Every structure is written in structure tokens, then in C-alpha cells.
Amino acid sequence: MGKVSLEGIEFHAYHGVFSEEKKLGNRFTVDLHVYTDFQQAMLHDDLKKTVDYFKLYQIAKAHMQVPVKLLEHLAHLMIQDILNVYPEIRKVRVIIKKHNPAIGGVVNYSVVEVNYPQDYG
């Protein structure tokens, strides 16, 4: 088994509970890690035998464009789409950081990390 990752994908998006977040938006960073068997891709140099990180990026981008209240829900939606495109994936880890969250103090970012299958009943 191996891991394909995209780290530090940056977006400006409008996720959050507060009206200011929905209006002004914020900077977000997304990390995607998928674990799968890509031995055939290694042996045969075949993109179809592994996870295409361009497709992973497109999934993240699509979800970042649709505002939600909670980052936990956003991560869940990304995981569901990744698994729909790549059902053979054994594990997915999504980390979402909201830079300068609206909490009334100085904070670099808030972080939500969701792991499939561990975080799913």
C-alpha cells in the first residue's frame, strides 16, 4: 500500500457559522492523503492504476466553492466524493485549516482532521 497526498492546497472560501465569515470569506488550507495499492502503477507507469492527484484537487476545489457551516462537514463531503471516484481507496485523511478564525483573539488557524475509516462508525 502507498500514499498519494496533496498538501497545502490554498483557497479563499466562505465557510463558517458567523455572518462575517459568510460575507468576507477566509483563507483555508487543505491537505488530502489517500492510501491505496498502487503497485501496478509503479510497475507499469499507468496513471489509471493509481490515484490522480488532479482529480483529488478538483474534488477539494468543488467543495471549497460551496459554503457550509462546519469544517467537519466539509471534510466529510470531500471524503465521500473521493471514495465515490476511487472506491478501492483503503484510507483517506483530510485536514482543513481556517486561517485567522473569527473567535475574538489572535489564532493562526483552527484545524479539523477527519480520517476514514477511523472517524466513521
By the 8 A CB rule, do 101 and 70 touch? no
Is residue 69 flagged as an active site residue? no
In which order are the strands placed within the sheet that holds 109-116? 2-13, 26-36, 91-99, 109-116
Beta strands in the chain (DSSP E): 2-13, 26-36, 91-99, 109-116
Catalytic member of 22, 61, 97, 98: 98
Using alpha carbons, select from 58, 81, 71 the residue that is nearest to residue 28.
71
Distance CA 105, CA 71 (A): 19
> Which residues are marked as active site?
98
